[in-house]
Amino acid sequence: MSPARQPNDSPGGRKIARQPTIGPTLQTQRYAMGPRAGAKKARDFDPHAFLATIGEGRKSVPFQRKQGIFAQGDAADAVFYIQTGKVKLTVVSQAGKEATIGILGDGDFFGEGSLAGQAIRMDSATAMTDCSVLRIDKKAMMEALHREHEFSDLFVAYLLARNIRYEEDLVDQLFNSSEKRLARILLLLAHFGKEGKPEPVVPKISQEMLAEMIGTTRSRVSFFMNRFRELGFIDYDAASGMQVHSSLLNVVLHD
C-alpha cells in the first residue's frame, strides 16, 4: 500500500508551498484604503486656502493705488484673484476713448479670458486702492480646475453670478433712465445688503467714472448726485468719502 499523501505533496512527491491567506480583516482594510485615501485628499483641499496662499504657479503681488496690473494688448497668461482692495477694468477704443467696464473688490476674479484661448488682454486693470492680488499662472489654474472639484465649483459659480450681473447691466442700460442706472450702480458699489446700514463706496470715485459706467454725461451725474444727497439717499464729503443708504433703493424700484 502506498503511503498516504501529505496535504502539501504533489503527485510527483514535490512539496507545494502553502499560499498565505488574507484574513477578512486585512481584506477589508486593503479595499478600504483607496476610498479613504481619496476622501482624505478631497477633504484636505480648501479652495479658499488655495486662493489665500502662495504656491506653485501662484504668487501674491501688492499694487499701490493707481498702479497698473496689466494693460490692454498685453499677453494673457494668468488669472488674477483680488485678496484685498479694489480694481478698475477699462477699455480704450481705436479712437482713444476710454470707458470703465467694471469695478471689482475682495473675492473677485479677473483676467480669466486667458483660460478660453484669449491670447492678449482685451482690457486694462488698474488698482483703485492699495491691493493684494493673487496671480495664478494659466497652467496652474487649469490644473487646479481639473483636479479639484470644490475649486472648479467655486469658480463656475462666480462666473455664472457675474454673467447674470452682465445681463442685468444690459437690461438696465436698455430700459432704465440714467437716474435709475446711477442709483443701481451706487448700490452695487456699496455692496448694498443690510437694511438701514450705510456702507462706504469706493473712495474718491469720480463723477466722470460714474458717467462712463452708466452711459451718460458728467453733468447729468452731478445733477442726480445732488438730488440724492438732498433727499438723504447718500452722504459724501472729502474727509469720509461717500456713504449710500438703503433708501436709495426707492429710486430703482419707483416706476
What CATH code is carried by the domain that includes residue 225?
1.10.10.10
Q: Using 50, 70 and 90 to split pLDDT, how confident is the model at 81? A: very high
Q: Using 50, 70 and 90 to split pLDDT, how confident is the model at 183? A: very high
Residues 130 and 69 in one domain: yes
- Structural domain tally of the chain? 2
Is position 9 within any domain?
no
Cβ-count burial 69-97 (b if 16+ within 10 Å, e if not)? bbeeeeebebbbbbbebbbbbbeeeeeee
Residues 189 and 239 in one domain: yes
Residues 155 and 183 in one domain: no
The three three-digit cell numbers of residue 179, written as one number: 437716474
Residues 166 and 82 in one domain: yes
Residues 97 and 114 in one domain: yes
Is position 5 within any domain?
no
Backbone dihedral region for residue 97 (phi beyond 0: left; psi -120 to 50: alpha; all else: beta):
beta
At residue 115, the pLDDT reads 95
Report for 2-6, 15-19, 21-25, 247-251: range of highest mean pLDDT: 247-251
The domain boundary residue, chosen from 172, 194, 210:
172
Q: Using 50, 70 and 90 to split pLDDT, how confident is the model at 203? A: low
Please state the rounded mean pLDDT for residues 190-195. Answer: 64
Is position 219 within any domain?
yes
At residue 190, the pLDDT reads 83
Residues 168 and 182 in one domain: no
Residues 146 and 199 in one domain: no
Is position 10 within any domain?
no
Does residue 19 register a pLDDT over 80? no
Does residue 36 register a pLDDT over 50? no
The domain boundary residue, chosen from 125, 153, 172:
172
**For residues 108 and 245, which has the higher predicted lDDT (pLDDT)?**
108
Going through the chain in order, the beta strands assigned E by DSSP cover 58-63, 68-70, 78-84, 87-92, 98-104, 109-110, 124-127, 131-137, 199-200, 234-237, 241-244
At residue 54, the pLDDT reads 85
Task: Please give the residue range of the domain that contains residue 86.
Answer: 48-172
At residue 244, the pLDDT reads 87
Residues 87 and 151 in one domain: yes
Does residue 28 register a pLDDT over 80? no
Is position 110 within any domain?
yes
Residues 168 and 183 in one domain: no
pTM: 0.74
Residues 168 and 67 in one domain: yes
Residues 150 and 188 in one domain: no
Residues 56 and 168 in one domain: yes
The domain boundary residue, chosen from 146, 172, 198:
172
